[in-house]
């Protein structure tokens, strides 16, 4: 009788497995909760190569997205066709013996960014034991399984990790800077992005020469082929709502800890003001925010002590050469279109105000950018209202600029921004 009972239980269990959720599908409950599939088990229509429109090197094999193993550090990345900001991502994955791969998010595409990891954080997937055996290398802790690559280490105590050739599940939750990594149902990492601790880690090692790493508030998802045929299935995501905006004091009158200087020009605090001044090299210089501000409403005051050729950049990125690319609200001497918008290293002037509203001494400027529209007020008079679809395609920092040429000195104070 006991044997019969055991067989009945076994048959029931097998039946339950057979009737369980089919791979690459969503349950009715998941659909109701807002989950979406990024892979249907048959086509790769929702994916393409990084910085390209086609898709090569990846195929559908047995209902899974599979890399062909031809990738390297410089190639082999595919990205989602849609950007995501706040989200809950769930992915099943398996590696071959010694396999190395990763899940990246908030990836930014630009020709200047030749690989995704210089902008997008990575959840590392790797068979540590097999990799070290095959290569003879000893991985550093920040390169190990489940790390937020080169940033945060996981706690794998009590976590069951299936061996190569078997499926595992990873989850990434990004909610307005609050980040969680999960592995097979256990939370292994939790941190807050863009805090002092986060910036200290970012600037102390791997990413010190990648100025835009991890700053994007939205971006593409990415799967990595690092020379091994990694496989992925049940790739699903639920978008999370954006939290309400906040007002940030970007300058406290004492220091510029919320800013990062680029170039060799001079940026310092004196008498409660940020001083932007040419140095001996008399080249372009930039004082950029540590964080990105995409939709915002900012106010500041400026005083053009000498020459005054400066600017307030928005949605701008910094390249390793200390070159800043983005849009500049002009802060210039009289008659030089203060309040107009200039695209740096792009289309040049987009709009020049027809009337001068600059005064001697301190001036007040307000800049509001929402989606594809930028509005500028100079001394409480609206001087620019420009709609440009290119605005909506970019995200980035705010920055104070100093022009090249020498003899330029501009003061800034009362710099505040409200995120929208």
In the chain, domain spans: 2-239, 247-419
Q: How far apart are CA 129 and CA 230, in angstroms?
A: 16
Could you confirm whether domain 247-419 is CATH 2.60.120.560?
A: yes
pLDDT at residue 205, rounded to an integer: 86
Task: Give the N- to C-terminal CA distance of the chain in Å, as an integer.
Answer: 69
Same CATH topology for 2-239 and 247-419: the answer is yes
Express each pLDDT in 139-198 by its tens digit: 999 999 999 999 999 999 999 999 999 999 999 999 999 999 999 999 999 999 999 999
pLDDT at residue 4, rounded to an integer: 40
Could you confirm whether domain 2-239 is CATH 2.60.120.560?
A: yes
CB 37 within 8 A of CB 204: no
Note the Cα 310 to chain centre separation in Å: 27
pLDDT in tens, the chain (420 residues): 434 433 333 333 333 333 457 999 999 999 999 999 999 999 999 999 999 999 999 999 999 999 999 999 999 999 999 999 999 999 999 999 999 999 999 999 999 999 999 999 999 999 999 999 999 999 999 999 999 999 999 999 999 999 999 999 999 999 999 999 999 999 999 999 999 999 999 998 899 889 999 999 999 999 999 999 999 999 999 999 999 899 999 999 999 999 999 999 999 999 999 999 999 999 999 999 999 999 999 999 999 999 989 999 999 999 877 688 999 999 999 999 999 999 988 899 999 999 999 999 999 999 999 999 999 999 999 999 999 999 999 999 999 999 999 899 999 999 999 999
Instruction: Using only the alpha carbons of the chain, give its radius of gyration.
Output: 25
Q: How far apart are CA 222 and CA 102, in angstroms?
A: 8
pLDDT at residue 20, rounded to an integer: 54
């Amino acid at each position: 009788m006991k044997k019969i009972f055991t067989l009945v239980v076994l048959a029931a269990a097998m039946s339950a497995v057979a009737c369980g959720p089919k791979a690459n599908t969503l349950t009715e409950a998941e659909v109701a909760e807002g989950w979406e599939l990024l892979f249907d088990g048959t086509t790769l229509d929702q994916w393409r190569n990084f910085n390209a429109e086609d898709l090569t090197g990846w195929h559908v094999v047995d209902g899974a997205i599979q890399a062909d193993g031809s990738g390297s550090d410089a190639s082999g990345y595919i990205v989602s066709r849609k950007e995501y900001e706040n989200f809950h991502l769930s992915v099943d994955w398996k590696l071959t013996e010694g396999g190395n791969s990763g899940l990246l998010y908030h990836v930014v595409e630009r020709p200047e960014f030749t690989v995704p990891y210089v902008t997008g954080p990575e959840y590392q997937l790797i068979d540590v034991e097999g990799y070290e055996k095959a290569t003879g290398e000893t991985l550093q802790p920040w390169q190990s399984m489940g790390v937020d690559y080169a940033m945060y280490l996981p706690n794998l105590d009590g976590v069951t990790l299936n061996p190569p050739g078997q499926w595992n599940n990873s989850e990434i939750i990004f909610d307005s800077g609050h980040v969680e990594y999960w592995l097979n149902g256990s939370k292994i990492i939790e941190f807050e992005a863009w805090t002092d601790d986060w910036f200290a880690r970012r600037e102390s090692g791997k990413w010190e020469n990648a100025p835009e790493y991890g700053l994007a508030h939205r971006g593409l998802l990415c799967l990595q082929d690092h020379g091994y045929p990694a496989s992925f299935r049940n790739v699903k995501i639920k978008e999370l709502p954006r939290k309400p905006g906040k007002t940030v004091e970007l300058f406290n009158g004492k220091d510029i800890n919320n800013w990062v200087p680029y170039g060799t020009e001079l940026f310092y605090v004196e008498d409660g003001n940020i001083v932007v001044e040419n140095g001996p090299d008399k080249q372009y210089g930039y004082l950029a925010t540590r964080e990105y501000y995409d939709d915002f409403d900012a106010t500041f005051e400026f005083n053009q002590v000498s020459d005054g050729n400066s600017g307030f950049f928005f949605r701008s990125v910094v390249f390793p050469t200390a070159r800043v690319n983005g849009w500049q609200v002009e802060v210039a001497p009289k008659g030089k279109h203060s309040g107009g918008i200039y695209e740096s290293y792009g289309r040049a002037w987009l709009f020049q105000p027809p009337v001068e509203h600059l005064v001697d001494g301190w001036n007040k400027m307000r800049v509001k950018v929402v989606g594809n529209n930028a509005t500028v007020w100079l001394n409480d008079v609206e001087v620019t209202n420009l709609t440009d679809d290119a605005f909506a395609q970019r995200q980035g920092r705010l920055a104070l600029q100093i022009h090249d040429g020498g003899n330029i000195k501009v003061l800034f104070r009362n710099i505040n921004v409200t995120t929208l």
